[in-house]
Structure 1
Amino acid sequence: MKYLFFFFLLFHSQLFPKGDYPDNHSCKECHENIYDEYQTSAHSMGYFNDTLHRKIADAVSTKKYSCATCHMPMADNMNELIVGKARPDKSNKTHTDAVSCYFCHTIAYVKRAHKFNINIKARQAENYKPTLYGRLEKPDENDKHSSSSNPVYAKKVCMGCHSHKQNDNNVTIFRAMNEEQDSLECIKCHMPKVSGSAEKMDKRARGEHVSHRFLGIRDITFRKRGVDIGIATDNNKLIITLTNKMAHPLIIQPARAKFLKIEIVRSGKVIWQNYMKKPSEDRQGYFAYSFKRGGKRIIIPATATEGSVYNLNTKETKVLNYTIPPLEKGDIITVSLYVQLAKSECAKAIELEDKSLIEPLLIKEVILKL
């Protein structure tokens, strides 16, 4: 693993001379639509504008910033950040650009590794304009950069950061993809084609491009599509069927929780619900990571020695059974699936002031009227 780590640093250090980095804003000159889309995406959020990430990173260490490999991947002093000789610098564009345009479009290939995969960047020849990669068969050229199609963008480009992450104790603290998957599954959902050219001066008059909003859980329409919810009853049994239609598990990030809220209403009054105070009371309807160190439960997983996750895996169906009071005609059963971007105990552990991150966001709601 040490060999792979220094291999990554070697390639990273040869990307560009200091000061020659083409920042995100420079891309706007030709790619205004894509730049505006990107600005609304999670890729544009990093240490300085993502409060949750910064709080967790600082809770792990106020000296080292080991998250930089994925959350600040263009940092021109990556090694110093990781070993604790430097801190994130708000005046440094390679720090504030988060997961930058230049980073994603200069990945040559992805190297598989045990703790986390490694993005190997294209080496830039001195005094030559950079080559940016994509999936177009005949990409347009311009005076800012060369363009080239690279098969990694249909295969493994998302695997560098979105595959898996293990801490130093070999405990998995993040997993989104398996090694058999390719990036086309990700692109199909998270980067759908939209109308409009990818650049202001479209030499081939292309009428559409793939969206760079990187649609995700924060988009109210998008998040409805991932899970199907079925409701059935049998005497005093309530049967809930959950089917994950996504190409990744329901729970990926350790800070989040997704949970069911189930209510049976009769004549305007709730006669039964699946939990009283906290969603986690319903163990079969609460999806989240759990970590321990030395047998004691902890929230921040960086030092965990044990870890588990209750999940709805890729394409998996779970059938949940609840014992309920006898139903009557006119009863209304409502099943709602919610997400907390920061589960309550996580927010408490890092003293998160932004309470909106704790507020449940509705993913999907299904109603059955008897």
Structure 2
Amino acid sequence: MKNVSILILLAVTLFSAEYLTNKSCNECHPDIYDEYQSSYHSKTYFNDELHRKVAQKVPVYDCGRCHMPAAKNLSDMEAGKTTPNPIHKEQKDAISCFYCHQIAYVKKSHKFNINTLARQAAGYKPTLYGSLDNPDDSDKHGMVKSPIYDKYACMGCHSHKRNAQGVLIFKAMDENQDSKGCIKCHMPYIEGPVEKMNKRSRTEHRSHFFAGIHDAEMRTKSVDITIRPEGNTIHVVIENKMEHPLIVQAARMKYLKLKVIRDGKVIWENFKTDPMEDKQATFVTEFADEHGKRVAIPYFAKKRGFVNNLGAKEKKEFVYKVPSLHKNDRIVAEMYVILAKPSCAAVLDLEDKTLTEPILMKKVETIVK
């Protein structure tokens, strides 16, 4: 019995390393900390209204696996036994530095991928992992280069997710993809050392801003739009420049606004008030119940409803019949994104109106010759 007790104690201590808060990382990595604090990896249940209000609509916090992965009571939250509480530093840290730098293995699975963390021994400073050559230890932690951080680290959360009914909520990666594309685009090398002391005189580091839809430059680079007028038709080609689908997050909507302007007045447009008037150029994923009725919160979905998307690097041509075009008519094409699509916003009572206001991604125009 004594030997059994020792084995049980050892199993517990292997997973009991002291948690390092995001704030503690700031002491040695101020630049990276500031980047992270400006990123959406720092957003969580407590400071992201859209995420919180969606989570409050469901009986269990099954978002936590990716949005609050360091929580010690994650299993209880996923089982509906408790809800997020800001007194827990691991929960307030969102997608924490400590959690992400402990990933030892990413297991591919049908419903969602699973991050396996490195075992840490109690009573010793933890070992963290990354992609640096010849990393430095500190008084807080050891540091080791791991191949996981060159091509797999993002796959734990950013690959795909299905709900309890097996409905695909999002899919960001194909089966043959890994994290290399994510890292190249969203974590480019930028000027500045990795740490304040800069023992090895490093001149650059990977950005931890994780630029995406909230960054104007990234929005512009993500799509190409070309316009070709011909008689009484307009040909518009939209190309998704990204290595993942145009729509990934279930709450979002992207759409094309096309206008013909003559003498300063709009004489034609592809829709008046609702982008869904032009479904071919409205990119969104809607969900439905077993009867086909629209469901706003993906947790309750029994199947997918209306889905329109562009795959990675995919382009599509749209042809519009318009009144006869005149010389010097301006044709303006604008791509917009809404962070909380109308069907989602309608059930959430969002106070932050920037979540429901269209954000310009790209604008191009041409003059009829």
Which interval holds the TM-score relative to the shorter structure?
over 0.9
Counterpart for residue 179 of structure 1: 175
DSSP-derived class of the 1:59 partner: coil
2:26: which partner in 1?
28
Tell me how far apart the structure 1 counterparts of residues 284 and 14 of structure 2 sit (CA, whole Å): 40
Partner Cα distance (2:244, 2:56) in 1: 28
User: Percent identity between the aligned chains?
Assistant: 51
From 310, 314, 317, give the equivalent of 2:315. Answer: 317
Asked if the contact 2:13–2:121 (Cα under 8 Å) also holds between the matched residues in 1, the reply is no
- The match for 1:111 is 107
Indicate conservation of the 8 Å contact 1:154/1:182, yes or no. Answer: no
Contact 2:13 2:122 in 1 (8 A): no
Note if 1:367 corresponds to 2:369: no
Q: Is the 8 A contact 1:255 1:346 kept in 2?
A: yes
Give distance in 2, aligned partners of 1:96 and 1:14. 24
Is 1:222 aligned to 2:218, yes or no?
yes
1:304 and 2:301 are equivalent in the alignment: yes
Where do residues 128-139 of structure 1 align in structure 2 (5 Å cutoff)?
Answer: 128-139=124-135
Q: Which moved more, 1:67-76 or 1:299-308?
A: 299-308
Rate the CA distance shift 1:93–1:240 in 2: closer, same or farther, 3 A: same
Q: Deviations over 1:283-326 (max 9, x none)?
A: 11100001110221111111211115210110101011111111
- Structure 2 counterpart of 1:297, which letter? R
RMSD in angstroms over aligned alpha carbons?
A: 1.4
How does 1:154-169 map onto structure 2 within 5 Å?
Answer: 154-169=150-165
Aligned to 2:62: 66
What does residue range 229-244 of structure 1 map to in structure 2 within 5 Å?
229-244=225-240
2:77 partner SS:
helix
Alpha-carbon distance between aligned partners in 2 of 1:46 and 1:16, rounded to the nearest angstrom: 24
**Contact 2:14 2:121 (C-alpha < 8 Å) held by counterparts:** no
How far has the Cα of 1:13 moved from its partner?
9.9
TM superposition shift of 1:12: 11
What is the match of residue 199 of structure 2?
Answer: 203
Q: Deviations over 1:198-219 (max 9, x none)?
A: 1001111001111100001011
| Aligned counterparts, 1:326-341, within 5 A | 326-341=324-339
Indicate how the Cα distance of structure 1 residues 300 and 106 shifts in structure 2: closer, same or farther if over 3 A, else same.
same
Could you tell me how far 1:222 is from its partner in structure 2?
1.5
1:302 maps to amino acid: Y
Which residue identity is paired with 1:227?
Answer: V
1:188 aligns with 2:160: no
Matched, 1:275 2:304: no
Per the alignment, residue 15 of structure 1 pairs with 15
Change (3 A) 1:215 1:193: same
Runs of 4+ in structure 1 displaced over 3 angstroms? 11-15
Structure 2 counterpart of 1:102: 98
Is residue 92 from structure 1 mapped to residue 84 from structure 2 by the alignment?
Answer: no
Q: Deviations over 1:206-254 (max 9, x none)?
A: 0111110000101111210011101002211110001111010000011
Alignment partners' CA distance in 2, 1:369 and 1:41: 39
Q: Shift of residue 66 of structure 1? A: 1.4
SS in structure 1 opposite 2:346?
helix
Number of equivalenced pairs: 356
Which of the residues 140, 155, 160 maps onto 2:136? 140
Q: Distance in 1 between matches of 2:38 and 2:103?
A: 22
Q: Is the 8 A contact 2:258 2:333 kept in 1?
A: yes
Amino acid at match of 2:299: A
Shift of residue 15, structure 1, vs aligned partner:
3.4
**Partner Cα separation in structure 2 for residue 16 and residue 250 of structure 1:** 41
Residue by residue over 1:68-89, the C-alpha shift from the partner in whole angstroms, topping out at 9 and shown as x without a partner, is 1111000011111111222111
Residue aligned with 2:125, SS = coil
CA distance in 2, matches of 1:348, 1:13: 47
Please tell me the residue identity of whatever aligns with 2:128.
L
Q: Which residue of the partner structure matches residue 8 of structure 1?
A: none
